[in-house]
Amino acid sequence: MEGVQMSYAPAGAEFDSVLRDQLLERRERLQDAGPLTGADPDLSRLLNEVDAALARFEKGTYGLCDVCHDPIESERLMADPLVRLCLGDLTQKELDRIQDDLALAAEIQKGLLPKAPVAGDFWSVDLAYQPAGIVSGDYVDVIRQNGDVYFMLGDVSGKGMAASILMSNLHAMFRALIPLDLPLCDLVKRANSLFCESTLANQYATLICGKLNAKGELEFCNAGHLPPIIVGKSGTVQLESAGLPLGMFCDSSFAASCAKLESGDTLLLFSDGVTEANNGAEEEFGISRLINAVDGSLECGPSELLTNCVKMIGEFRGNAMRNDDLTMMALKYSSQI
């Protein structure tokens, strides 16, 4: 069905283990709720469905479609471990319901984005956000805290609904952690630990997390993400730094890097949907074209700079299909001294 995008990757032992644990937890909760609600027919139905799913695990048929016996889409199993039909064997009414759910998920995800353009006493920010599908695995946020501005931009591995759920997870974690006023490297370390505990072993996220103060002092941690760019009076400079993505190892440590912005400088962050945008000849836009696109843009505000970048990427891509989510953030510093 048009608009419904799902992953068809095979499940794997660890994926099955997570789903089985979910079913066992649901069974326990249903049994606990039973004595409190009496002979509730809906609870009995759900308990029977959970028991049937656990029985399919014992038979080795869990995750296979009841009709065609092909594997059910892994993202749908993760969202609802009780599903028994693949997309190809759903009725039109059921497909329409999934489409409605995806559209609602997209609206909820858009609601998590910062209301850009936005500005503070010494900074202004705008965003470019173009999901490749209905929902996105890119994460972006801006938070004011104790006179500083915190910014995050990341990219969750994979695509579709599963990636969008993890994106929402990152959003909630950083919104909860930043008010604790932790040192930046400790903030990212804590986020990594929480992210590890809530994902499968093959899931991770690259991320830039940083903060800027009124003096133009920039501090950031790079967790395996593309280096940010400063568009400034001295030219366009990449801020090279390295670190492991979030979710790779639960006990990873992260180092903070520092830079100084002059009044009028703009910090540019972006996901790999920018540099890996393909044209019809399968060429990538690349970092060099991006630097050329922003070079000499010192006088541009964040909105104009991003508009110019997105336009150049679109012209380069032409009629080629977008192959990844595209997200950019432009943070312009203006000294108040």
CATH fold of 13-90, please? Four Helix Bundle (Hemerythrin (Met), subunit A) (1.20.120)
Cα(23)–Cα(237) distance, integer angstroms = 51
Please report the DSSP string for 173-189 in residue order: HHHHHGGG---HHHHHH
Domain boundaries, the chain: 13-90, 114-333
Contacts of residue 214, defined as CB under 8 A and 6 or more positions apart, other chains included, come to: 121, 122, 147, 335, 336
| pLDDT in 10s for each residue of the chain, 337 residues | 344 444 433 446 777 887 888 888 888 878 877 665 556 777 888 888 999 999 999 899 999 998 899 998 877 787 788 888 888 888 888 777 777 777 777 787 787 888 888 999 999 999 999 988 888 889 999 999 999 999 999 999 877 777 888 888 899 999 999 999 999 999 999 999 999 887 776 788 999 999 999 999 999 999 999 999 999 987 899 998 878 999 988 889 999 999 999 999 999 999 999 999 999 899 999 999 999 999 888 889 999 999 999 999 999 999 888 888 999 999 999 987 6
Of 3.10.20.30, 3.40.1370.10, 3.40.50.2300, 3.60.40.10, the CATH number of 114-333 is 3.60.40.10
User: DSSP character for 72?
Assistant: P
Residue pair 213/147 in contact (Cβ under 8 Å)? The answer is: yes
